[in-house]
Structure 1
Amino acid sequence: MLRSNTLWLRDYANEVQRCNPDTTVKIDVYGKEDLEKTTRMFRRIYVCLGALKRGFKEGGRELLGLDGAFMRGKYPGQMLTAVGVDANNGIYPVAYGIVESENQYSWTWFLTCLAFDLFSNSNFTFITDRQKGLLPIIAKLFPSVEHRFCVRHINENMNLTWKGGDYKEMLWRCATSTTIVKFQKNMDDLKNYNKKAHEWLSKIPPEHWSRAYFSGIPCKHDIAAIHDMADNCMDVGTSEDWVHESYKLQTWMNVYSHKINPVNGRDLWSDKAMK
Structure 2
Amino acid sequence: MRVSKGNSIKINTERPLPTIQPRFESFYFCFEGLKQGFLSGCRPFIEIDGCHLKTQYGGKLLIAVGRDANDQYYPLAFGVVEVENKESWRWFLTLLLEDIGADKRWVFISDQQKGLMSVFDELLEVVKHRLCLRHLYANFKKKIWWRCCN
Give the TM-score range, shorter chain: 0.7 to 0.9
Q: Deviation of residue 38 (structure 1)?
A: 8.0
User: Counterparts of 1:150-189 in structure 2 under 5 Å?
Assistant: 150-162=132-144
Is 1:68 aligned to 2:50, yes or no?
yes
| TM-score, length basis structure 1 | 0.49
- 8 Å CA contact retained: 1:62, 1:123: yes
What 5-or-longer segments of structure 1 have no aligned partner?
1-16, 164-275
SS of equivalent to 2:88: helix
Q: Distance in 2 between matches of 1:159 and 1:109?
A: 32
Q: Which string of whole-angstrom CA distances, capped at 9 and with x for unpartnered residues, describes residues 56-79 of structure 1? A: 101251111111100012221000
User: Counterparts of 1:34-183 in structure 2 under 5 Å?
Assistant: 36=18, 39-162=21-144
Q: Which runs of 4+ in 1 moved over 3 A?
A: 36-39
Is 1:30 aligned to 2:11, yes or no?
no
User: Counterparts of 1:237-252 in structure 2 under 5 Å?
Assistant: none
Provide the residue aligned with 2:148 in structure 1: none
SS of equivalent to 1:18: coil
Cα distance change, pair 76–133 in 1 and its aligned pair in 2 (3 A): closer
- Higher fraction of strand: 2
Q: Distance in 2 between matches of 1:105 and 1:30?
A: 15
Q: How many residues align?
A: 145
- 8 Å CA contact retained: 1:29, 1:43: yes
Q: Distance in 2 between matches of 1:161 and 1:76?
A: 28
- 8 Å CA contact retained: 1:121, 1:143: no
Q: Distance in 2 between matches of 1:126 and 1:49?
A: 20
- 8 Å CA contact retained: 1:126, 1:147: yes
Q: Distance in 2 between matches of 1:42 and 1:60?
A: 33
User: Percentage identity across aligned positions?
Assistant: 37
| TM-score, length basis structure 2 | 0.87
Q: Which amino acid aligns with 2:33?
A: A
Q: Distance in 1 between matches of 2:90 and 2:143?
A: 32
Q: Distance in 2 between matches of 1:47 and 1:68?
A: 15
Provide the residue aligned with 1:181 in structure 2: none
Q: Which amino acid aligns with 1:24?
A: S
User: Counterparts of 1:224-263 in structure 2 under 5 Å?
Assistant: none
Q: Which string of whole-angstrom CA distances, capped at 9 and with x for unpartnered residues, describes residues 109-153 of structure 1? A: 111111111111211000010224312212322221001101121
- Higher fraction of helix: 1
Cα distance change, pair 132–43 in 1 and its aligned pair in 2 (3 A): closer
- 8 Å CA contact retained: 2:65, 2:75: yes
- 8 Å CA contact retained: 2:111, 2:136: yes
Q: Deviation of residue 31 (structure 1)?
A: 4.8
SS of equivalent to 1:122: coil
Q: Distance in 2 between matches of 1:127 and 1:72?
A: 25
If you compute each CA radius of gyration, which structure gives the higher value, 1 or 2? 1
Q: Which amino acid aligns with 2:83?
A: S
SS of equivalent to 2:2: helix
SS of equivalent to 1:45: strand
